[in-house]
Structure 1
Amino acid sequence: MNLAEHNKNLIIDGFQKFAAGDVEILRTLLCEDFIEHSPGNPSGRDAFVEFIASAPVAGARLDLRRVIADDEFVVTHYLMTPPGDERGVAVVDIWKVADGKITEHWDVIQPLPDPSETPHGML
């Protein structure tokens, strides 16, 4: 298995465990000095895990649609549906991976519009 496949499998496995309710999986995936690039989210493994544990994503239904990987980055594209939100939001996460650990994270989040506004869908 090449490095891109290894990183892709690492992220998919972690995503599936997180989506099933295992927030603590992040402690094994993130390096200690993890860097977060999203506004309002803390850097550092422990601070990030504590933050995410109480964030809407922790209680949402996550439906993974695609994963793209190379030797350094893994990109996930999925539907996040928090409780009480009928449509949900489209999310793209970009994970930087080095030596089997996630070192950095970026994301783009967009609420799904009415289906009539996007005839080809967003996901």
Structure 2
Amino acid sequence: MSDSSKAARNKHLALHGFTQFAAGNIDVLRTLVHEDFVEHSPGNPSGREAFIAFIAEARVARARLDLKRVIADDDHVVMHYHMATDDDPRGVAVVDIWRLVDGEIVEHWDVVQPVPEAAEVPHGMF
């Protein structure tokens, strides 16, 4: 498989998973996350079952997720999105980096930044 077709396949898998998760289907993670999944975000557990249990109770599972861009390169997919809740309408800007192997997510990193007042970001966060 060429790098470009691998990137396209991984992008498709990540987009499908994101769309399903954003619609409230947490179980889609069982089809995407590898059993020995490694998490690099502080406070988030590694391992498929522990990670899914954690995410199911996390704010992200109840938030509105507005995907802004997706970048895929070989084994990595990067997703940039706005996560907001009724309690926090400004929300946070999130960048997730997923590493996929054979159609499964094996590693994850993220960067999360609170969205400031519009006047503080003249060109917008997204």
Q: Same fold (TM over 0.5)?
A: yes
Aligned residue for 1:2, secondary structure, equals helix
Aligned residue for 2:67, secondary structure, equals strand
Code of the residue aligned with 2:107 in structure 1: it is: E
Mapped partners of 1:116, 1:83: distance in 2: 21
Q: CA deviation at 1:121?
A: 0.6
Quote the residue 2:8 is aligned against.
5
Quote the residue 2:119 is aligned against.
116
Q: CA deviation at 1:71?
A: 1.0
Mapped partners of 2:85, 2:29: distance in 1: 19
Q: Deviations over 1:60-90 (max 9, x none)?
A: 0000000000111000000000231120100
Aligned residue for 1:53, secondary structure, equals helix
Q: Unpaired runs of 5+ in structure 1?
A: none
Quote the residue 2:105 is aligned against.
102
Aligned residue for 1:94, secondary structure, equals strand
Code of the residue aligned with 1:54 in structure 2: it is: E
Q: 8 Å contact 1:69–1:75 — kept in the other structure? A: yes
Q: CA deviation at 1:25?
A: 0.6
Mapped partners of 1:53, 1:105: distance in 2: 16
Q: CA deviation at 1:34?
A: 0.1
Q: 8 Å contact 1:64–1:77 — kept in the other structure? A: yes
Mapped partners of 2:62, 2:78: distance in 1: 21
Q: Unpaired runs of 5+ in structure 2?
A: none
Count of residue pairs brought into register by the alignment: 123
Q: CA deviation at 1:2?
A: 0.8
Code of the residue aligned with 1:11 in structure 2: it is: A
Quote the residue 2:79 is aligned against.
76
Between the two proteins, what is the percent identity of the paired residues? Answer: 63
Structure-1-length-normalised TM-score: 0.98
Quote the residue 1:67 is aligned against.
70
Mapped partners of 1:28, 1:67: distance in 2: 20
Code of the residue aligned with 2:103 in structure 1: it is: G
Q: 8 Å contact 1:59–1:83 — kept in the other structure? A: no
RMSD of equivalent CA atoms: 0.9
Structure-2-length-normalised TM-score: 0.95
